Structure 1
Amino acid sequence: MKTSTCPSSVCLLFIFTIFFNSVTASRFNIPRLSPIKGAILQEPEIRSSERNISGDYEDLFYNQTLDHFNYRPESYSTFQQRYVISSKYWGGANSSSPIFAYLGAEAPLDNDVLFIGFLPDNSIRFKALLVYIEHRYYGKSIPFGSREEAFKNTSTLGYFNSAQAIADYAEILMYVKKQYHAEDSPVIVVGGSYGGMLASWFRLKYPHVALGALASSAPILYFDDITPQDGYYSIVSKDFREASESCYQTIRDSWSAIDKVASQPDGLSNLSKKFKTCFPLKTASELKDYLLELYSDAAQYNQPLRYPVNVICGGIDGEASGSDILSKIVAGVAAYEGDHKFCYFSPNNESETAVGWSWQNIKLILQRFGSNIIFSNGLKDPYSSGGVLENISDSVVAVNTVNGSHCLDILRKNYGDPDWLVKQRETEVGIIEGWIAKYYADLKELKIYDNRNLYSRKI
């Protein structure tokens, strides 16, 4: 891959890692780290017709290399990779205005463009060109012509890994800089959760492409032999216990209560009716997995103005005195999901995200989201689940808070955002402004140096 030269100080490592002190994973079977799932849950009033990318954004495709690292004949195959650009507020190449690039993660790109607000919210301030790049094997960026072929076997899935993904991003960003004659424009890459891990790794691997990285809620230390592991579900348990001890105890006792009912004649049928499931339960595990995901999502996306952990515990604790354990759990579900729903959960249709993330997480990323049973006995104080909670160096900066929720800092600004969130975003922007100011100063010195050398050679 072609490299470019830059002032030595510009080429120093800059990684900006954000970690909110809450949960950093999701789901029992497939620990998924979507930065926007909570945002979508919080705004159900948005109609699908309003989720189309607006006219300010251009939907494009790049003829991407299948394999960036080998030289087998099949490695020269290509596929169409989707990226989206907005140049509405870009200051132009002549002013070396920056490029903000969002690195897509384990989902199609559409919702990222809609809900990741850090880029458009700051585009006027920085006069930035905005670029969003879809992760290979997701959305419309599927190699081999179809999902069926791409997920067919380990040979076709062999190109589905993080190293190939960040090489994709580098190739597209260098192409965009060339197309816009923006070779001197600094690039800031942004990612959330797994995408934040990609942003961090991208800055390490391709420092000639990206000046810095904003990695929101990125568990970049959550690997064996790097950070002591205590288990994601222990942290979920801790969140509920801090909200309400009685709520925590009720949920903890509910697992055995579910098993007890399920073991009785017509037990699964009774559970289906009690919990208003959208399909007859076949096993007790189906119900427990649903509840586990509900509690995990509530903890992970425990956003201001809603605080779903408190909503669930309010329903559980607010149930009439003397009610049985499962009636209290049903009340918690109704409080979270809405008691107007005809049924509360339906069979999981495996999406490309579910299948793709399962492959990435188990086979390639090799993260260890501990297997602690939620709300079990013997709960230990959890560690930080691999987020960076303190500065690693002068250029690897952590901004954290005891409040917040997963990737909240890079979501859209909203009226009523708490002061701590507003200040946190201002801190992030201030750090990025410092990077870019230093870059411009170094670039100016480099051009003066080059002009002097050119003048000397002419003489």
Structure 2
Amino acid sequence: MDWDDSISLQRKEMNLDKYWFGVCHELSNNKLVSLLSLISSTIVSAKPYNIPSLGLSGGIFLKGGGTKTTKAAAQTNAETPKNDYEIFFYNQTLDHFSYTPESYTTFQQRYVINSKHWGGAKENAPIFVYLGAEDSLFDGDVADMSGGLLTENAPRFKALLVYIEHRFYGKSVPFVSFQNAIKNATLRGYFNSAQAIADYASVITYLKEKFSAHYSPVIVIGGSYGGMLATWFRLKYPHIALGALASSAPVLFFHGALPYNEYYAVVSKDFKQASKSCFHTIKNSWSEINKVASQPNGLSILSQRFKTCSPINGSEELKDFISGIFMDAAQYNSPPKYPVTMICRAIDRASNTTDILGRIFAGVVATNKTKECFDTRQNLTSGTESDGYAWQRCSELVGPFGERGDTMLERDNSTLSNFTNGCINSYGVPPRPHWITTYFGGKDIGLVLRRFGSNIIFSNGLKDPYSASGVLKDISDTILAIHTVNGSHCLDIVGASPNDPIWLVEQRKRELDVIEGWIKTYYADLSSFKKTK
């Protein structure tokens, strides 16, 4: 079966006009009613946590400058693919790890294919699979990657490109709306990383079967949380994926894998390198905000000084908003704008004309000069997809507690105990702080993977605060750490620019050369294997 016949057959069999409720005809009425009744009876409240953002490109503060966005404006992102991309839905199993009647329930999971440059199954041409993370494909991954590393290099490898959306994000939410799913104790229980990578395994296996591409090597790619998933996928499913490119993957950012949370220290280092005076202004601003907030009408004064869209409810709301801007700036401090430099330049230039709060506000305005007000609650809206990652953080993606190093941000005095209490209050269950390192590993990763794993690239930019939780040294000849001193979060896998610095061009080239080497070795092994059959 050639590609055209296979894709035609796939379209017919998948019946793309069906939405995820359309799959229910495959279930008995009793099973479905039982499951949905259980879902409707277990809805609880969900509150997001203020945590460092993950994602392929600029976080919520840099994307919108922390500005108020209407629902209509938020929906302007096209839910249609760009040229050469086609959308499909796969009937995905709700629970891969049990055999109760309800576990066989299926929902529709979205994935996208670009076959323009694929050499086809007859040539055993490779398949590059981008593993979706904590966002809709069209709000994040495909929107960025359609002009990124995969698309730009598909002709070189004659690769089929596949992008799979993470369960519970975008159009891949089982049965109900995201707002209802994230509030639902029963349904939310199926929202975890192990189920997600099992989803990916099912979709990839299905596609290889449908396209008769049994011997086409698969390379999985992911950025940030998606980079963690790519790493874990290679380790858990080596029979499906030949290798993994894990960009800015903080695979050690877990309780028990690292003794400290060094994210904030790297943020501070980035700002200090840009401007020591800027660093000290920011460091001294928190006490000044607290001082003003304690005064009569202090919150009103702060709301006016920072032009918030709504009156702030407390100093913590404002401080979280401002620190979020600084964290995003450090995490995505990429050319040509370099937001850390942009913020510090604004703060320093305002030093002679205003007080410390005025200087901080100048830095906030530098992130988006066209907005009339700033929405300090944009990241606190219940029912948004930031709640999805908040749930994952509360259930299994539990980071280390305690800090060290010189930080310009207020110290985070969180403990596992008060974090656990917050999770119980929000979701009714405590986190499992050691589950990720138990199930996927992470502790003593260099020792463990030296004799076990292979074909993984850990790429990082050291300006990225999450790089402190990444793999920065080669583990073996085939598990490589490729990092750049001036790089930022996931910069290596987004689209190339003629103005890219040479160090970024060289980083991408080395990654692609390594992947090409994996594939050549695989083809040699495949040839030998076929001769012995």
Q: TM-score range by the shorter chain?
A: 0.7 to 0.9
| CA distance, structure 1, for counterparts of residue 511 and residue 198 of structure 2 | 26
Give the drift of 1:43. 11
What are the superposed Cα offsets for residues 166-204 of structure 1, whole Å, 9 maximum, x if unpaired? 000000001011111111100000000110000000000
* Corresponding residue for residue 206 of structure 2: 175
Query: Cα gap change, 1:378/1:219 in structure 2, threshold over 3 Å: closer, same or farther?
Result: closer
2:134 pairs with 106, 116, 127, which one?
106
Q: Is the 8 A contact 1:257 1:326 kept in 2?
A: yes
Gaps of 5+ in 1: 1-26, 451-459
* Corresponding residue for residue 58 of structure 2: 37
* Corresponding residue for residue 449 of structure 2: none
Q: Is the 8 A contact 2:94 2:105 kept in 1?
A: yes
Q: What letter corresponds to residue 284 of structure 1 in structure 2?
A: S
* Corresponding residue for residue 469 of structure 2: 386
Of structures 1 and 2, the one scoring higher in RCO (CA 8 A, sep 6+) is 1
Residue 373 (structure 2) pairs with residue 343 (structure 1): yes
* Corresponding residue for residue 356 of structure 1: 388
1:423 pairs with 506, 525, 529, which one?
506
Q: Is the 8 A contact 1:222 1:229 kept in 2?
A: no
Q: Name the SS of the counterpart of 1:365 in structure 2.
A: coil
Residue 155 (structure 2) pairs with residue 124 (structure 1): yes
1:65 pairs with 71, 88, 93, which one?
93
Residue 130 (structure 2) pairs with residue 97 (structure 1): no
Query: Cα gap change, 1:227/1:49 in structure 2, threshold over 3 Å: closer, same or farther?
Result: closer
| CA distance, structure 2, for counterparts of residue 242 and residue 378 of structure 1 | 20
2:343 pairs with 309, 312, 320, which one?
312
Q: What letter corresponds to residue 57 of structure 1 in structure 2?
A: Y
Q: Name the SS of the counterpart of 2:530 in structure 1.
A: helix
Give the drift of 1:425. 0.3
Question: Which has the higher mean CA deviation after the structures are superposed, 394-403 or 328-337?
Answer: 328-337
What are the superposed Cα offsets for residues 354-374 of structure 1, whole Å, 9 maximum, x if unpaired? 111001012112223656795
| CA distance, structure 2, for counterparts of residue 378 and residue 80 of structure 1 | 43
| CA distance, structure 1, for counterparts of residue 152 and residue 496 of structure 2 | 7
Give the drift of 1:351. 4.5
Q: Name the SS of the counterpart of 1:79 in structure 2.
A: strand
Q: Name the SS of the counterpart of 1:30 in structure 2.
A: coil
* Corresponding residue for residue 203 of structure 1: 234
Q: Is the 8 A contact 2:221 2:230 kept in 1?
A: yes
Q: Is the 8 A contact 1:82 1:140 kept in 2?
A: yes
Q: Identity, % of aligned pairs?
A: 55
| CA distance, structure 2, for counterparts of residue 189 and residue 195 of structure 1 | 10
Question: Which has the higher mean CA deviation after the structures are superposed, 180-189 or 137-146?
Answer: 137-146
How many residues of Structure 1 are paired with residues of Structure 2 in the alignment?
Answer: 420
| CA distance, structure 2, for counterparts of residue 39 and residue 209 of structure 1 | 34
Question: Which has the higher mean CA deviation after the structures are superposed, 47-56 or 342-351?
Answer: 47-56
Q: What letter corresponds to residue 224 of structure 1 in structure 2?
A: H
Matches within 5 A, 1:392-407: 392-407=475-490
Q: Is the 8 A contact 1:138 1:352 kept in 2?
A: no
* Corresponding residue for residue 187 of structure 1: 218
Residue 412 (structure 2) pairs with residue 329 (structure 1): no
Question: Which has the higher mean CA deviation after the structures are superposed, 166-175 or 250-259?
Answer: 250-259
Q: Is the 8 A contact 1:90 1:97 kept in 2?
A: yes
Give the drift of 1:230. 3.7
Give the drift of 1:345. 2.4
| CA distance, structure 2, for counterparts of residue 369 and residue 101 of structure 1 | 34
Structure 1 residue ranges (4+ consecutive) displaced by more than 3 angstroms after TM superposition:
38-44, 47-52, 369-374, 376-379
| CA distance, structure 2, for counterparts of residue 270 and residue 253 of structure 1 | 18
Gaps of 5+ in 2: 1-47, 66-74, 413-464
Matches within 5 A, 1:294-313: 294-313=325-344
| CA distance, structure 2, for counterparts of residue 369 and residue 308 of structure 1 | 28
2:271 pairs with 234, 240, 248, which one?
240
* Corresponding residue for residue 400 of structure 2: 368
Q: Name the SS of the counterpart of 1:330 in structure 2.
A: helix
Q: Is the 8 A contact 2:403 2:411 kept in 1?
A: no
Q: Is the 8 A contact 1:189 1:199 kept in 2?
A: yes
* Corresponding residue for residue 455 of structure 1: none
Matches within 5 A, 1:212-231: 212-231=243-262
Residue 144 (structure 2) pairs with residue 115 (structure 1): yes
Question: Which has the higher mean CA deviation after the structures are superposed, 30-39 or 278-287?
Answer: 30-39
